[in-house]
Amino acid sequence: MSVLVRAAADTETIGEPLLNIGIFAAFVAITLIVVLRASRNNKTAADYYAGGRSFSGGQNGTAIAGDYLSAASFLGICGAIAVNGYDGFLYSIGFLVAWLVALLLVAELLRNTGKFTMADVLSFRLKQRPVRMAAALSTLAVCLFYLLAQMAGAGGLVSLLLGIHEEVGQSIVIAVVGTLMILYVLIGGMKGTTWVQIIKGALLIAGAAVMTVWVLALNGFNLSELLGNAAAVAGPEILEPGMKYGVTETSKLDFVSLALALVLGTAGLPHVLMRFYTVPTAKEARRSVVWAIWLIGLFYLFTLVLGYGAVTLVGADRILAAPGGVNSAAPMLAFELGGAWLLGIIAAVAFATILAVVAGLTITAATSFAHDIYTNVIKRGKTSQGKEVRVARITVVVIGVLAIIGGIGVQGQNIAFLVALAFAIAASANLPTILYSLFWKRFTTRGALWSMYGGLGSALLLIVLSPVFSGTETAVFADANFAIFPLQNPGIVSIPLGFALGWLGTITSKTAEEPRIAAEMEVRSLTGHGAEKAVEH
Amino acid sequence: MVPATDPPRDTQATIDYQAIQASEEFRTLRSRHRSFAFPLAVAFLVWYFAYVLLADYAHDFMSTPVIGHINMGVILGLAQFVTTFGITMWYVSYANRKLDPLATSIRSDIEGADSGEHEEAHS
For residue range A310-325, list pLDDT tens digits in order: 999 998 888 888 776 7
d(CA A315, CA A333) in angstroms, rounded, equals: 9
Going by pLDDT thresholds of 50, 70 and 90, the confidence category of residue A416 is low
Q: Which of A64, A97, A237, A260 to mutate to test the interface with B (most CBs of B within 10 A)?
A: A97
Question: B20 lies in a domain?
Answer: no
Q: Which of A297, A519, A520 sits opposite B85 (nearest CB)?
A: A297
pLDDT at B115: 52
B84 vs A536: which has the higher pLDDT: B84
DSSP state letters, B45-66: HHHHHHHHHHHHH-HHHHT-EE
ipTM of the complex: 0.89
- A472 found inside a domain: no
Whether B118 and A536 lie within 8 Å, measured CB to CB? no
* Domain carrying residue B94: 25-102
More confident residue, A472 or A490: A490
B109-119 tens-digit pLDDT: 888 765 544 44
* Residue B90 forms part of a structural domain: yes
Question: What's the rounded Cα separation, in Å, for the pair B117 and A19?
Answer: 58
Helix (H), strand (E), coil (C) string for A343-385: HHHHHHHHHHHHHHHHHHHHHHHHHHHHHHHHHHHHCCCCCCH
d(CA A531, CA A53): 11
Tell whether A35 is covered by a domain. yes
CA distance A319 to A530: 54
Backbone angles phi, psi at B71, to 5 degrees: -100, 180
In this predicted model, what pLDDT tens digit does every residue of B20-34 receive, in sequence order? 999 999 999 999 999
Range among A217-221, A344-348, A352-356 rated most confident: A217-221
B33: nearest CA partner in chain A: A526
- Choose between A251 and A17: higher pLDDT: A251
Instruction: Flag if B59 and A227 touch (Cβ within 8 Å).
Output: no
With beta carbons less than 8 A apart as the criterion, state whether A448 and A499 touch. Answer: no
- Tell me if B1 is assigned to some domain: no
Model pLDDT, residue A9: 37
B123 pLDDT band (50/70/90 cuts)? very low
Q: Is B3 a residue whose pLDDT tops 70?
A: no
d(CA A444, CA A514): 10
CA B64 to chain centre: 37
Tell me the C-alpha distance between B46 and B32, whole Å: 22
pLDDT score, position A443 = 94
Convert A74-108 into a string of H (helix), E (strand) and C (coil): HHHHHHHHHHHCHHHHHHHHHHHHHHHHHHHHHHH
Total count of residues recorded for chain B? 123
Query: How would residue A506 be classed by pLDDT, with cut points 50, 70 and 90?
Result: very high
- Output DSSP code: residue A69: S
Instruction: Look at residues A183, A41, A124 and name the one whose alpha carbon lies nearest to residue A436.
Output: A124
Residue A435 located in a structural domain: no
CATH number at residue A367: 1.20.1740
CA distance A31 to A181: 11
**Percentage with pLDDT > 70 across chain A:** 94
Number of domains comprising chain B: 1
| Half-sphere exposure at residue A518, Cβ-oriented, CA atoms within 13 angstroms | 16
B70 in a structural domain: yes
pLDDT tens digits for range A24-72: 888 888 888 888 888 777 778 888 888 888 899 999 999 999 989 887 7
In a domain, A234, yes or no: yes
Span A494-514, mean pLDDT? 93
Q: Summarize the confidence of residues A411-432 as an average pLDDT.
A: 82
> Could you tell me the residue range of the domain that residue A321 belongs to?
2-240+266-426
Give the mutation candidate from A81, A299, A526 for the B interface (greatest B CB count, under 10 A): A526
Residue A479 lies in a domain: no
Considering the domain boundaries, does residue A30 fall inside one?
yes
Query: Are B63 and A239 an interchain contact pair (Cβ–Cβ within 8 Å)?
Result: yes
Q: Do A227 and B92 touch (CB under 8 A)?
A: no
What single string gives the DSSP state of each residue in A400-465? HHHHHHHHHHSTTS-HHHHHHHHHHHIIIIIHHHHHHHHH-TT--HHHHHHHHHHHHHHHHHHHHT
pLDDT, tens digit, 9 for 90 and up, residues A160-215 = 777 777 777 778 878 887 888 888 888 888 888 898 899 989 999 999 999 999 99
Q: Is A141 inside any structural domain?
A: yes
Q: Answer whether residue B114 is part of any domain.
A: no
Residues 6+ apart with CB under 8 A from A253: A487, A492
Does residue A519 fall inside a structural domain? no
pLDDT at position A216 over 80 = yes
CB-based contacts of B12, cutoff 8 Å, min separation 6? none
**Planar angle of CA A258, A261, A265, nearest 5 degrees:** 150
Q: What angle do CA A398, A399, A403 make, to 5 degrees?
A: 120
Torsion A181-A187-A190-A196 (CA) sign: negative
Whether residue B74 is contained in a domain is answered as yes
Tell whether A90 lies on the interface with B, counting CB pairs under 8 A: yes
Tell me the nearest-neighbour CA distance from A39 into chain B, angstroms. Answer: 21
- Average pLDDT along chain A: 86
Range of weakest confidence among A74-83, A149-158, A340-349, B5-14: B5-14
pLDDT at A1: 35
Least Cα separation, residue B10 to chain A (angstroms): 19
Q: Hey, how many other C-beta atoms are within 10 angstroms of the C-beta on A17?
A: 17
Which residues 6+ apart lie within 8 Å of A55 measured at CB? Answer: A63, A194, A278, A279, A284
Residue B109 placed within a domain: no
Residues 6+ apart with CB under 8 A from A90: A241, A255, A258, A259, B52, B55, B77
Which residues from chain B sit within 8 angstroms of residue A522, using beta carbons? 17, 21, 30
* Whole-number pLDDT of residue A480: 78
Local confidence band at A8 (pLDDT 50, 70, 90 cut-offs): very low
Q: Say how many domains are in chain A.
A: 1
Picking from A259, A283, A528, the nearest residue to B52 by CB comes out as A259
CA A54, A56, A57, A61 torsion: positive or negative?
negative
Q: Which amino acid is at A330?
A: A
Distance CA A298, CA B72 (A): 21
B45: Cα within 13 Å, side-chain hemisphere: 15
Q: Cβ separation of A239 and B106 shorter than 8 Å?
A: no
Is residue B111 in some structural domain?
A: no
pLDDT in tens, B37-85: 999 999 999 999 999 999 999 988 998 989 888 999 999 999 999 999 9
